[in-house]
Structure 1
Amino acid sequence: MDHSDASLHAFRVGLPNPADALSTCFSTSYAGIIAFMAVATEGSFAKAGERLGIGRSAVSRNVQKLESQLSTRLFLRTTRSTHLTREGERFFENCNQGVTHIVDAMNDMLDLRHGPPRGVLRISSNVGFGRKVVAPLLAQFCEAYPDIAVDLILDDKPADFAAEQIDVAFRDGCIEDSSIIAKQLVPMQMALCASRLYAEQHGLPMTLEELAQHECVNLRFSGGRVYEWEFKVDGHMRKFLPTARLTFNDADLVLRAVLEGRGIAQLPGYQIADHIARNELVMALRRHVPDDRGHYICYLCRQHLPSRIRVFVDFMTEHIRALNLLCLDDFYIDSLESERQA
């Protein structure tokens, strides 16, 4: 070991870890600083004890320990009065700045919880629902809450609340993650649909087995997986991965291909409800639509929820539920009758 290595080794062995030193210093001086600040503010040890809810002797001991640690006399004490020394005045001025910062920090946190909604709101949503439903509502939300800045992230993979610092996420399907609060906004209807032109030229499948005879349009998720169509048959879930000549990684392109009569696809109700109402699309196998799915708004904890998150959840819940996102409500009974007759 050369001289420099020996010196470095001695330094490492001889000196305490900086973090440990800070911890020891803070723990031994904290009570003394609190007592010191109370005495300096109240003007006496007795009044400081009343302010802190401890005895006068305890206040005095804590101040004495602090003075020993600092090797400095902070107070001039007589039987009639207590005054700060010049060193004490300097120490009080410096400590007071720190206390002010701490109080401001605490008030800021309380204001986030109880005060007017403000700050940055980081939101995650799958691409289709975010583009079609969430994004159009943001202008109205921002107008109602001008002190909230919105950061919307569209991604089909589930949001990682901690790693991505997500405040609120919109999720579809069945929520099985017990670590999050999931509030259902509306049921999620996945309907098999085709254009009227396609239905006239090729007909519609009447059973799941007939799907193989039709042109299908697939959706590929951002992770590379192709979406499997889901159907409920005799109370059980059945999945079907169709063979397709057209596959897109964008739900809007899938919808456009269906509207153009290029095939059939299974799409969520929020995407096709308007087209169904305008008779641009027709549905098939409606009796097999899954009924255990939902569109959810999710966040991590109900307790200590910042007001910016609380008002956003309430706003989106109210406004999304007011939208007509269901494609089956007006057609479900008729569809059952037509399929029975067929």
Structure 2
Amino acid sequence: MVPTTPLAPVAPAAPAEAVERGFRVSLPNRADALSTGFAASYAGIMAFMAVASEGSFAKAGERLGIGRSAVSRNVQKLETQLSTRLFLRTTRTTQLTREGQRFFENCHQGVTHIVEAMNDMLELREGPPRGMIRISATVGFGRKVVAPLLERFMAAYPEIAIELLLDDRPTDFASEQVDVAFRNGRIEDSSIIAKQLIPMQIALCASPAYVARHGLPDTIEALGRHACINFRFASGRVFEWEFKVDGQVRKVMPTARLTFNDSDLVLHAVLQGWGIAQLAGYQIAEPLAAGQLVVAMARYAPDDRGHYLCYLSRQHLPTRIRVFIDFMTDAIRAQALNCLTDFNPEPALSPSPIA
């Protein structure tokens, strides 16, 4: 909801016709097509402004003296006409998108600017990519994979500004005004579009030095004899290790000698030989290739997770978001992040108890 000055009531037909006549002589050619349907556009704009002011479709209907469904229809017609998503709607909130906020401010300058504002919205979708993209990513994947690609993206699209938020919590697209989110694991929220970039691989790893002293576990039951290193999410929940045994996922919460709330510190501890940990493929691809890590129990690695690029709707995506999605999809898939096919999955090292 945005603070506004009082909203004028919907004008009767005669003033609307007068406004229409005024627009005919002053609008540029690309907006002439609006003249014949201006009454419908005007109703949609008034409904849009009422919803933006009141923060809900029901209250907007009360303010305009029409039903909630009529308000919704008028706003949907307006969004279709603009090919632009104006509101982020969830079961709890209704908030303006960035395009909606911009359209609202332009409309407040007066009825004489309404068509120019609509043309501006269409320009955002069909014109050169420009504007702000707010991105959310998990801390590890955002730092290791997403952030290094931003320089190349911004060089290709100099009129796009980026805000990257690193957070392991689930993304609230509406309240946080997030345009695109990178998420790992399994996506269970049916209200969002989740595009899988690459499968998410998870491997149980140790350093060669640790293996030389203690060996590697070859069964889930053997984990209790090893120094395990855990990762704690920002929510306070500890990451459960997962294995796929006989086609079934088994989750294990190992007793840990070390626990960190930063995945890079978990990786550092494993590389130093302090213990074993289950780590994501994007973290361990380079150390594995360099011989700094070995993998245990690869035959039990889960195979039903992914790295996803998420957004609320395929409809009315602005140009800047479409090019960002395409760029990141191609760039991430081109990286060698799927590491489990590039090494001997079962090193010939016999496990032994920790001294």
| Whole-Å separation in 1 of the counterparts to 2:286 and 2:297 | 19
Cα 1:32/1:209, change in 2 over 3 Å: same
Residue 22 of structure 1 corresponds to which residue in structure 2? 8
| Whole-Å separation in 2 of the counterparts to 1:208 and 1:40 | 78
Residue 294 of structure 1 corresponds to which residue in structure 2? 306
The Cα of 1:145 is off from its aligned counterpart by 0.5
Give 2:345's match in structure 1, choosing from 326, 335, 342: 335
The Cα of 1:339 is off from its aligned counterpart by 8.8
The Cα of 1:243 is off from its aligned counterpart by 0.8
Root mean square deviation, CA, Å: 2.7
Cα 1:37/1:242, change in 2 over 3 Å: same
Matching residue's letter, 2:201: Q
Aligned residues: 272
Cα 1:194/1:37, change in 2 over 3 Å: same
1:162 equivalent in alignment to 2:148 = no
Contact 1:195–1:261 (Cα < 8 Å) also in 2: yes
Contact 1:38–1:52 (Cα < 8 Å) also in 2: no
What whole-Å deviation, never above 9, does each CA across 1:143-164 have from its counterpart, x for those lacking one? 1111000000000001111110
Give 2:151's match in structure 1, choosing from 103, 115, 139: 139
| Whole-Å separation in 2 of the counterparts to 1:296 and 1:194 | 27
TM-score (norm 2): 0.71
* 3-state SS, counterpart of residue 251 of structure 2: strand
Matching residue's letter, 2:146: V
The Cα of 1:329 is off from its aligned counterpart by 1.4
Residue 257 of structure 2 corresponds to which residue in structure 1? 245
| Whole-Å separation in 2 of the counterparts to 1:259 and 1:30 | 74
Aligned residue runs from structure 1 range 5-16, under 5 A: none
What whole-Å deviation, never above 9, does each CA across 1:77-117 have from its counterpart, x for those lacking one? xxxxxxxxxxxxxxxxxxxx845421221111111101111
Aligned residue runs from structure 1 range 211-230, under 5 A: 211-230=223-242
1:203 equivalent in alignment to 2:215 = yes
The Cα of 1:209 is off from its aligned counterpart by 0.3
186-195 or 99-108, which deviates more: 99-108
What whole-Å deviation, never above 9, does each CA across 1:228-256 have from its counterpart, x for those lacking one? 00111111111011111211000000000
Aligned residues: percent identity? 63
Matching residue's letter, 1:215: A
Aligned residue runs from structure 1 range 230-241, under 5 A: 230-241=242-253
What whole-Å deviation, never above 9, does each CA across 1:112-154 have from its counterpart, x for those lacking one? 1011111010000000000000000000011111100000000
| Whole-Å separation in 2 of the counterparts to 1:176 and 1:283 | 29
| Whole-Å separation in 1 of the counterparts to 2:326 and 2:36 | 41
Unpaired stretches in structure 1, ≥5 consecutive residues: 1-17, 42-50, 55-96
Contact 2:231–2:239 (Cα < 8 Å) also in 1: yes
1:37 equivalent in alignment to 2:22 = yes
Contact 1:206–1:339 (Cα < 8 Å) also in 2: no
Matching residue's letter, 1:142: M
Cα 1:39/1:138, change in 2 over 3 Å: closer
TM-score (norm 1): 0.74
1:118 equivalent in alignment to 2:103 = no
| Whole-Å separation in 2 of the counterparts to 1:337 and 1:281 | 11
Matching residue's letter, 2:188: E
- Deviating runs (4+, > 6 A) in structure 1? 38-41
1:272 equivalent in alignment to 2:296 = no
The Cα of 1:185 is off from its aligned counterpart by 0.6
* 3-state SS, counterpart of residue 170 of structure 1: strand
Matching residue's letter, 1:335: P
Cα 1:336/1:32, change in 2 over 3 Å: same
The Cα of 1:335 is off from its aligned counterpart by 2.0
Residue 261 of structure 1 corresponds to which residue in structure 2? 273
What whole-Å deviation, never above 9, does each CA across 1:235-282 have from its counterpart, x for those lacking one? 111101111121100000000000000000000000001000111000
Matching residue's letter, 1:22: A
Residue 173 of structure 1 corresponds to which residue in structure 2? 185
| Whole-Å separation in 1 of the counterparts to 2:15 and 2:159 | 37
| Whole-Å separation in 2 of the counterparts to 1:23 and 1:193 | 66
Cα 1:103/1:191, change in 2 over 3 Å: same
Unpaired stretches in structure 2, ≥5 consecutive residues: 27-34, 39-108, 351-355
Matching residue's letter, 1:170: F
Matching residue's letter, 2:345: S
The Cα of 1:33 is off from its aligned counterpart by 2.8
